[in-house]
Chain A
Amino acid sequence: MASRYSVARAARQLTSVAAKRPSAFACQQWRQIAQTPRLFTVSAQLKEKKYTEDHEWIEVSADGKTYTLGISEYAAKALGDVVYIELPQVDLEVGEGDAIGAVESVKSASDILTPVSGTVAELNSALEDKPGNINKDPEGDAWIAKITVSKEPTGKLMSKAEYKEFTEEA
């Protein structure tokens, strides 16, 4: 009987999300992390910049209602010279994981995915004239969009240190 329990425990450990490390080779679907929904006001740990496995970053505003979204320095460097940034339209409703635009560099188009659901509130229209800014300051002046959040993000988000580790692994 006891041995049966231990087998079940081992199986549980093997299949639990926490036990899995993100691998560059394994299928990296949006991982649903089991968490109880938090109210906006208590999501303090989200106030620092968070990164996704798709190489976007988000940062929440002081009132917790708006997220600023951009692409990471790592992504900007990997893409090469950016020649155009396709921005969404203001007031567009977006769902977590949706493509809200695309970046073009050296004949390559890559989608920009939003890790949060909500409504596009503001765009960095300076990027329309100077898409190259993305290569200069992707995590600062060259933010892409601000999204009024309708639901807390549920996908995997990493801190700066975790993200650094993630990119070094890949």
Chain B
Amino acid sequence: MLLGDVGLGMIKMKKLYNQRSSTSLRGAAQTERDGCIILIWIWACAGVKFHGLMAKQSERMKTGSAINASGSGRCRGTPPGSLARREHAASGASQLQPPPLPSSTMAPSRGVQLLCLSKSFTKCRSIPHHPVTTATTLAWPMHARRTYSSFTETLSNPANKLQSYISRSSDPYLNLSIEDHILRKSPPDSTVLFLYVNRPCVVIGRNQNPWTEVNLSILNAARGTNELKDTEPPGIGAVDLVRRRSGGGTVFHDEGNLNWSITCPRNEFTRDKHAEMVVRALRKQGIERARVNERHDIVLDQGQERRPSDPEDTHRTPYTVDEGIPKPLKVSGSAYKLTRQRALHHATTLLESPNLHIISQYLRSPAKHNIEAKGVESVSSPVSNIGLDLKAYQQRLQEVFAVTYASIGKINVAETVGDEYLNIPDIRKGYDELRTQDWMWAQTPQFDAKLDFCNGPEITMNVHHGIVKSFDVEAELVDETHEDIRSALVGVKLQDVTDWTTLLQANVEPFNDRCAAVAKRLEELLPVPEFPRT
């Protein structure tokens, strides 16, 4: 029954994909971002897409996932990735990995080991396997406690050359911190695969500017002051904002996007190596248009004619067009973090995102043209879903990983990690760091914000390390009010601002029209949303 549904879903998704590619070629306005993302379908043109979405919804309904009537394919009030994700996590754990037994694979604490060696071994084995799904659960099943306390031990054991982990958490901060822990603690000559799916969030690169990359005012729909226009599709509720530790551009994650990460020795690392591995996995799942492009991302070629091509060549497909038109659609974006001995390559994979139509809104900042920023700017390209079932693909990717590294040996460790790993002090530390105001806002490379007014002087405000350094008004038009505003703003830390109008009202006397206009413009260009979202 379930298999039948999945099969049906796959056919639908394939159809949807074919239809979509031709739709998007016909004249949808397309922009996109690095790391992945955006396809703005002109709304009128999106009939096919919407139809596809409905097909998808009906499939979801069959699999028991909550749906609302908004047409966004997600229930607004439901915590992201709730039902489906948990189901998936639970079954994923039992299908893909053997439950952690108190045997040599886990390196339990000494006491436990002694216990297991004694007569009570059978008793130990009979402890039922309860996947822990929330961080708030207070009493862990015994095996879970053992699992996370010995995670670092297993991870750093020099004997474990090949390791594979899947996360059942959908917390982006936690998954990134577990990933960073893997980068720092795994043996120097080991290779580690880590797969995770995050709840809806926008993830910016280490050296990016959130005000130019993200439409910050719509992140928290419940508290937001900016109403979406009637012509725009509905928002998807609360979306987290994250600054990761690796380089690259801004990406959007949701429950239809699988993140894969591979940590390997630095001297074996190339930027294409693992993207090629992923292309092999995709082709094994029947996606023959997939290839690695010159930006080390994965795209689907859109050529209409099939030409002979070497099936082993991961940089070319039968549908590659040399003229560049039609433009390939991006489905996976890469970023890297390098340390002395280790290299981390992580990337997104848009498999079945229900939010493709709305991603562009989140990644289109109203301040883009008013801010001149140092640092890294995202590169746009049109994106698409691949249309594969996430769970099946996840398993395929693990298999291809095992095959790729078969020469090193067998996978030594295959485990599921979860929210309880937040109790590991190093992971907790990384998690807290990612959620500090300083990391989110003050880490932003220096930038100049230009405040323009219909009738009034242009004002340039310089911000460095998240602090207003200067406030310059066109020389001939400067007056006393500007002087007052300047002294109120210079030295202000952006992360301390909740509302620019309140700030200026409290510090500028009298608070006149010009002052209000400056506050309004600041509110539009440099909003500072609540972070981290509560």
Contact = CB atoms under 8 A, between A and B. Distances in A.
A21 interface: no
Interface residues of B, number: 30
A129 B267 CA distance: 31
A108 interface: yes
A83 interface: yes
B320 interface: no
Contacts of B189: 25
A108 B336 CA distance: 4
A109 interface: yes
A28 B341 contact: yes
B188 A109 contact: no
A54 B340 contact: yes
B247 A107 contact: yes
Contact of B247 (A24, A108, A170): A108
A102 B246 CA distance: 10
B122 interface: no
B376 interface: yes
Given A84-B207, A170-B267, A28 B340 contact: yes
A27 B188 contact: yes
A89 B144 CA distance: 42
B445 interface: yes
B246 A83 contact: no
Contacts of B340: 28, 53-55, 113
**Chain B interface helix/strand/loop/mixed:** loop
A127 to B, nearest CB: 10
A26 interface: yes
A86 B337 CA distance: 14
A109 B337 contact: yes
A162 B463 CA distance: 43
Given A107-B248, A109-B338, A170-B267, A84 B188 contact: no
20 contacts: A27-B187, A27-B188, A28-B188, A55-B340, A104-B206, A105-B247, A106-B271, A106-B296, A107-B249, A107-B334, A107-B335, A108-B271, A108-B336, A108-B337, A108-B338, A109-B207, A109-B247, A109-B336, A110-B338, A110-B339
Nearest to B189: A25
A25 B445 CA distance: 35
Residue with the greatest number of chain B CB neighbours at <10 A, chosen from A54, A110, A128: A110
Nearest to B271: A106
Interface string A98-128: 0000101111111101000000000000001
A37 B66 CA distance: 67
Contacts of A111: 339
A84 B339 contact: no
B181 interface: no
B298 to A, nearest CB: 14
Contacts of A25: 188-189, 265
Contacts of B336: 106-109
Interface residues on A, range: 20 to 34
B381 interface: no
Interface in B471-525: none
A55 B340 CA distance: 8
Contacts of B341: 27-28
A80 to B, nearest CB: 9
Contacts of A53: 340
A27 B375 CA distance: 33
Nearest to B335: A107
Given A25-B188, A89-B465, A109-B245, A84 B338 contact: no
A26 B245 contact: no
B374 A128 contact: yes
Contacts of B296: 106-107
Interface in B428-477: 445-446, 465
Nearest to B207: A84
Contacts of B207: 84, 86, 102, 104, 109
Contacts of A113: 340
B376 A83 contact: yes
A87 B207 CA distance: 11
Interface string A9-29: 000000000000000111110
Nearest to B333: A107
Interface string A150-170: 000000000000000000001
B377 to A, nearest CB: 9
B206 A109 contact: yes
Nearest to A89: B465
Contacts of A110: 337-339
A128 B465 CA distance: 13
A104 B374 contact: no
Chain A to chain B: the 5 pairs with minimum beta-carbon distance, closest first: A108-B336, A107-B248, A110-B338, A109-B247, A104-B247
Nearest to A26: B188
A84 B465 CA distance: 15
